[in-house]
Amino acid sequence: MATSPAHSPDGVPARARPGAALSTSDLHVRYGEFHALKGIDLAVERGEFVALLGPSGCGKTSLLRTIAGFVHPAHGTVVLNGRNVAGLPARERNIGIVFQSYALFPHMTALENVRFGLECRKLPRGEATERAQRALALVGLSAMAERRPKQLSGGQQQRVALARAIVIEPDLLLLDEPLGALDKQLRVQMQTELKSLQKQLGITAVFVTHDQEEAMSMADRIVVMKDGSIVQVDTPERLFQEPKTGWVCDFVGGGNLLRGPLEPLRSGVLQLELAPGSVIHVRGEGSPQAAVQVPFDKVALRPAVNDGLTVKARRFLGATLALEIDSPLGTIVAHVPPEEGAAYPVGMRVHASADMAHCRLVTVE
C-alpha cells in the first residue's frame, strides 16, 4: 500500500514542492516479487540534513540507492534541483556518496583518493589537486595527504571518504551508515564534526542509519520507515514527543506505551488505572486502538505500603537509573536520578503516576 504524501514542516505535501533540493513522488522499487519501496513521497529542502531511520529491511537503503542511481524504480520520480533524474545513471547525477566501508582505493594516497572524482570529470591536474587539498583541509587531514588508507585510522579514513564526496561540489550528499564502523567515542565525535561541516558548506544531505540516538542527534528531520513505507516525518523533538503510532513510539524510544481500559474521568480527560493507587490521566477521547504514551523520565514513583506495583529490575545508565516496574499492563520503565533510585531496591512495592501534561494518546496498530 502506498504511503500518503510526506509533509514538510509547513504542512505542504512533498510532491507539491518543486523548489525542494530533492523530492521523490510515488516511488516504487521491486526486487522480483519483493516490493521494497511502496509509493515513497518525500521532499528534502536545500541545506537540510535528513535521516532515513528504520529497522533492517524497512527500505531505507533501497531509497538511498534509488536516489543515488544504483537502483532504478519500477515507478515514480526522483527530482534533484528541479530535474527528474530517475532515468539517469549515477555518474550523471552529481551526487556525493559516503559508504560505511569508505570504499577507498588502497593503492592511492589520501590526496589521490580525493582527487579521483575530479579526474574522472576531466579537470586539469593542477586544479584537481588544489581542490582536493582544500577538501582535505576542511576535514582536518592536510598533514595526511600522502598516506595510504592502511596508514590511517578508521576515523581518518572516514574523513578521506567525506572529502572525496564533497570535493566534487555535489548537489546532494548521501551517507550510508557512514559512522557504523567506528567505536562509540569516535562515532559521537564524528557526528558533531560531520553535522558542523555539512552546515558550514550548506550541502543538502540524506543519511541512512538504524541508530535512533544518531538520528536524533544529527538530523534536522527524521524519516521513519517501516515495510517499504514512510510512517512519520518530523523533527527529532516532535518525533520523540509526539509519535503518530505506537510502533513509532516503541522504535524511537519515546517512552512507555500503556494499553488498558480508558475510563472517562471528566470532559476530555481519561483515566488509566495501572493498579490500586497507581493512576495515569490523559487528555483525549478513548478508542479501542488507543494507548497512553508516558515518557520514561516522567514516571513518578512513591513507596506503597501493601498493594502497588513491584520493582523487578534496575539498570544503571550513567546519568540516570532505569527502574523496571512490574504491572498488570506490562513492564513500566522509570528513568530517575541515581540518588533517587537508591530508595527503590528490587522487590520494593511502589505506586506510579505521571503529570497529565506529559501524557498523550497514540494509535496502536
234-270 pLDDT, tens digit per residue, is: 999 999 988 999 999 999 988 999 998 899 888 889 9
Q: Which of 1-15, 104-118, 288-302 bottoms out in mean pLDDT, i.e. has the lowest?
A: 1-15
Q: Look at residue 12 and tell me whether its pLDDT is greater than 60.
A: no
Q: Look at residue 9 and tell me whether its pLDDT is greater than 70.
A: no
Taken as a whole, the chain contains a residue count of: 365
Q: Look at residue 4 and tell me whether its pLDDT is greater than 50.
A: no
pTM metric for this prediction: 0.86
The pLDDT, as a whole number, for residue 8 is: 42
Which amino acid, 97?
I
Q: Look at residue 15 and tell me whether its pLDDT is greater than 60.
A: no
Model pLDDT for residues 113-134, shown as the tens digit of each residue? 999 989 989 999 999 999 999 9
Buried b (16+ CB within 10 A) or exposed e, 145-174: bebbbeebeebbbbbbbbbbbbbbebbbbb
The answer to whether the beta carbons of residues 170 and 197 sit under 8 Å apart is: no
The pLDDT, as a whole number, for residue 105 is: 93
Domains of the chain by residue range: 14-94+170-252, 256-363
Q: Which of 149-153, 223-227, 250-254, 294-298 bottoms out in mean pLDDT, i.e. has the lowest?
A: 250-254
Q: What is the mean pLDDT of the chain?
A: 90
Q: Look at residue 160 and tell me whether its pLDDT is greater than 60.
A: yes
The answer to whether the beta carbons of residues 245 and 365 sit under 8 Å apart is: yes
Q: Look at residue 278 and tell me whether its pLDDT is greater than 50.
A: yes
Q: Look at residue 341 and tell me whether its pLDDT is greater than 60.
A: yes
pLDDT band at 18 (very low <50, low <70, confident <90, very high): low
Model pLDDT for residues 46-100, shown as the tens digit of each residue? 999 999 999 999 999 999 999 999 999 999 999 999 999 988 999 899 999 998 8
pLDDT band at 364 (very low <50, low <70, confident <90, very high): confident
The pLDDT, as a whole number, for residue 333 is: 96
Mean pLDDT of 28-45: 96
DSSP codes of every residue in 149-199: GGGS-HHHHHHHHHHHHHTT--SEEEEESTTTTS-HHHHHHHHHHHHHHHH
Q: Look at residue 306 and tell me whether its pLDDT is greater than 90.
A: no
Cα dist. 152→131, 323, 364 in Å?
21, 43, 48
R_g of the chain computed on alpha carbons? 24
Range 256-363 classified under CATH 2.40.50.140: yes
Model pLDDT for residues 130-141, shown as the tens digit of each residue? 999 999 999 999
The answer to whether the beta carbons of residues 235 and 221 sit under 8 Å apart is: yes
Cell of 269: 480527560
pLDDT band at 7 (very low <50, low <70, confident <90, very high): very low
Which amino acid, 34?
F
Q: Which of 22-26, 87-91, 285-289, 320-324 bottoms out in mean pLDDT, i.e. has the lowest?
A: 285-289
- Which of the two residues, 285 and 206, has the higher pLDDT score? 206
Q: Look at residue 332 and tell me whether its pLDDT is greater than 60.
A: yes
pLDDT band at 162 (very low <50, low <70, confident <90, very high): very high
CATH top-level class for 14-94+170-252?
alpha beta
The pLDDT, as a whole number, for residue 17 is: 52
Cα dist. 267→278, 282, 290 in Å?
21, 11, 17
Mean pLDDT of 146-174: 93
Q: Look at residue 210 and tell me whether its pLDDT is greater than 80.
A: yes
Residues 6+ apart with CB under 8 A from 66: 24, 27, 29, 37, 72, 73, 78
- Which of the two residues, 107 and 17, has the higher pLDDT score? 107
